[in-house]
Structure formats: C-alpha cells, structure tokens
Structure 1
Amino acid sequence: MDPERLIYPLTKHVLLGPAMRVAFRPEVTGLENIPRTGPVILAPNHLAFIDSFVVPLVVPRQVFFLGKHEYFNRPGLPGRVQAAFFRGVGAIAVDRSGGRAAVAALAASADVLERGEMFAIHPEGTRSPDGRLYRGRTGVGRLTLRTGAPVVPVALSGTERVQPRGSKLPHPVKIGIRFGEPLTFSGVERDREAVRTATDEVMRQIQKLSGQEYVDSYAPMRGA
C-alpha cells in the first residue's frame, strides 16, 4: 500500500480528527447526500484556510484537493514532514503560477475523478473577503462536464471565526457543514455556455444552503 494512504487514516482518525472535533464541534447535516462510491466533486464555499481540512474530516471517504506547491518543497526535515502531511491528508501539489497553471490544475483534478475518487474544489477560487458568496469560477463546471462526476454543494459556516485576521492562534468555535443533494449536468467541456450554466447552478445551490448574500462578481484573488 502507498505509505501516504496510511498517513490519511492516521491523521484523520488519530491525530487531527479528534482534536478538531473537540475544538470546533462540527454540526453536520446531509452526509447521506454523498455517494459512497464513484467519482464525486465536493464544492464548498470558502471562508477560511481551515475549510480544506474540516470538510474531509467529516466525510466517510478520502477527499483530495489542490495545494500550493510551496507546501511541498520546503527544505530539510521540517519540509519533508510538512510535505508528507499534506500528501497524507489528500493535497495534490500544483504550481499555480504561470500561464499553464489552470490547465495543470484541471488535469490533476480530473485525474482524481477519473480514478473514481472524491475531489473538493472551492468554486469561488479564493477565500471570501467579507463573508459573502462570490461568483463561481468555471473550474467546477469544466470538471463536472469533463468527467461526468456529480457535484455535491457544501455550505460551511463559522470557520471564518476560527482564526480571525490578526489572530495568531485558532479559537475553539462551533462550525456548521451542510451537504446538499448531488447535481448532475449534461454538455461538453468545450461549450462555454454549458460550463457557465453548470457553475452558476452550483453556486445557486451553495447560496441556498448557506444563506449568504450573493455577489455577482469574482472575489479578489489571494492565498487560498
């Protein structure tokens, strides 16, 4: 077995999982909406850095997500430990700089789904600067039309209060995680209108679950 496959359950069930459950007391609804087998795209809103960790924590399958390549190339033993941790919890290293970054990210994401795995993507592309829900970037639409994988919209709440701006340490606060019903779409990845329609429907369902005010413009990009 791949050693990173062993790190994942160890981290989730022994190291990170129990501590996060005590600290954040997640209130989870809609887990029954997640298919137990086959490719699945999880599409959460994005309020805080911790979002990518709390969603996999409560899902009964391994969840993969993209991680900045800087997380994987730190030198020395601390860097190797950090890289092993991120790979073990499902992060895939992607260089998001340069003109072909989006192509590389889409290819890496599609590869996960084509293996029948579960992949998480924040359609907003970056954290919300003010708690509102911003227009979705079309990566989620391209992924679902390219692979045929259903999209499960996810609404996170309270994660923005875990480590507010200016705070050096996380705070123990109660968070909420709501999973909506799977969405399936027809069309082809080359059809821009179909991609935009699929993306907008995913955002509409996230907004319905979260109750956030919707902003029909892209959030300003910053570190995810």
Structure 2
Amino acid sequence: MSRILLKAILGFVMRVLYRPTVEGVERIPQTGPVILAGNHVTFIDSLFLSLVVKRPVYFIGKDSYVTGKGLKGRLMAWFFRSSGMIPVDRDGGRGGVAALMTGRRILEQGHAFGIYPEGTRSPDGRLYRGRTGIARLTLMTGAPVIPFAMIGTDKVQPDGKGMPRIAKVTVRFGEPLDFSRYDGMDRDRYVLRAVTDEVMSDVMELSGQEYVDMYATKARAA
C-alpha cells in the first residue's frame, strides 16, 4: 500500500514538474523476472526509474539509508522501502556476495530488479566499466536484461545534493538481451566480462555517454 501511495503522489509531481520523455518502456515484460541495467549519474535515478515503469522495481541500497534515528530516520526508511529499495550491508568482504544473493532471490521470485553495473554514481558524467555482478545474475537466473539510460537526471540533482531542480529528463529502454547461450557458464570470468561489456555497450549507445574503461570507484578515488 505504501508503494502505491508513494508512486501516486510522486508520479503526479514528476509528470507536472518534469514531464519526462520515456522511450521503449513497452520492451519491459509485464510479468516474470527481468533485470533493468543502466547508467547511474545521480542519487534520484532509481526514483525516476520506479516511477516510469508500471510494475514494481526492486533495488539494492545501503542499510544506512533505513537505520536513521528519530522522525527523519523513520521517514527516510519509509521512503526508501516504499521506493523498492532492499537494504543490504555492502561494507566488508561479503557485501558484494550479500547484494548478489539478494538480487538472485528477487529475480527467482519473479520480480523486476534494477541494477547499476558501474557499482556507484559516475564521478563526472561519463560511463564507466561495468562490474560482472550483472552477468552473474542473468546467467544464474536466466532473466533477460533490459538496458536503460538516464538522461538529464544529473541536471535535476547535480552531485546528488541539494534541492532538485527543474530539468528535461529522458528515460530510454533498449532491446532485451538474452544470454541463454552462456547457460551454465556463470563461473567463467571471460564469459562474465563479455556479458557485462555487451550490456554496457548498449547502455552507452542509449545514453550517448563517453565510455571510460576503468571502474568508477577508482576514478572517484583518484
């Protein structure tokens, strides 16, 4: 119920203020497991994605988003959970495994799972090398991958901080990608890299971003 309420309220606000252009959303299957994989340029990308896709979309998020104290903490927890975020402790050596297994569970339950293969927000608006978790998920579950691109959301909330601004936003979905030809090869690192790179190639084509063959986390640290 909270998800429906949040989507109704924010959906109305979004349509009035931003009037986003949505392309190719009909390519997302109405039922069954599907992975939505795209670029990540600002904090509110997941919100826009959830609002333009009719079916519920689930994401992995830091557990710190839902563990705040007081009224503000409770409101943030309600907001993120209602938006489809599933909190996971991503710190430490087992954080990636926990996120991967959570994504697998969501897909095996027949849901839509949103993921940003770059692993973090782009530090400069360019598209960075994808991490192979996306490949592991599609090969383990058989779920198709729908690449997508967020265009203009970085103008709405630059650096993911401050009050959102009014800007033109486009959400563009590509053709479904089927990797069943690699069935049973989810432990082959060359296959995992090939699958990931194919997804990122489609995201780059959809977004028009410059591609950097480097992990975003390393670029941010540098």
Q: Which amino acid aligns with 2:189?
A: R
Paired residue for 1:200? 197
How much identity, in percent, do the aligned residues show? 57
- Does 2:130 correspond to 1:148? no
Paired residue for 2:169? 175
Paired residue for 2:111? 117
| Of 192, 211, 214, the match for 1:217 | 214
TM-score (norm 2): 0.93
Using the TM superposition, give the Cα deviation of residue 85 of structure 1 relative to its aligned residue in structure 2, in angstroms.
2.0
- Does 2:65 correspond to 1:71? yes
- Structure 1 distance, partners of 2:96, 2:5, is 32
Using the TM superposition, give the Cα deviation of residue 158 of structure 1 relative to its aligned residue in structure 2, in angstroms.
0.5
RMSD after superposition: 1.5
- Structure 2 distance, partners of 1:134, 1:166, is 18
Q: Which amino acid aligns with 2:48?
A: V
- Structure 1 distance, partners of 2:215, 2:127, is 9
- Structure 1 distance, partners of 2:160, 2:110, is 40
Q: Deviations over 1:62-102 (max 9, x none)?
A: 00001110111112333223212211111000111111000
- Does 2:65 correspond to 1:87? no
Q: Could you tell me whether the CA contact under 8 Å between 2:42 and 2:160 is conserved in 1? A: no
Q: Which amino acid aligns with 2:114?
A: A
The gaps in structure 2 that reach 5 residues or longer are: none
Using the TM superposition, give the Cα deviation of residue 138 of structure 1 relative to its aligned residue in structure 2, in angstroms.
0.8
Q: Which amino acid aligns with 1:144?
A: T
Q: Could you tell me whether the CA contact under 8 Å between 1:25 and 1:173 is conserved in 2? A: no
- Structure 1 distance, partners of 2:104, 2:206, is 26
Compared with structure 1, are the counterparts of its residues 94 and 32 closer, same or farther at alpha carbon in structure 2 (3 Å cutoff)? same
The gaps in structure 1 that reach 5 residues or longer are: 1-5
Paired residue for 1:7? 2
- Structure 2 distance, partners of 1:172, 1:143, is 35
> What is the aligned length?
216
- Does 2:34 correspond to 1:40? yes
Q: Could you tell me whether the CA contact under 8 Å between 1:27 and 1:177 is conserved in 2? A: yes
TM-score (norm 1): 0.92
Using the TM superposition, give the Cα deviation of residue 184 of structure 1 relative to its aligned residue in structure 2, in angstroms.
1.1
Compared with structure 1, are the counterparts of its residues 167 and 142 closer, same or farther at alpha carbon in structure 2 (3 Å cutoff)? closer
Compared with structure 1, are the counterparts of its residues 165 and 85 closer, same or farther at alpha carbon in structure 2 (3 Å cutoff)? closer
Paired residue for 2:151? 157
Q: Which amino acid aligns with 1:54?
A: F
Q: Which amino acid aligns with 1:189?
A: D
- Structure 2 distance, partners of 1:87, 1:168, is 22
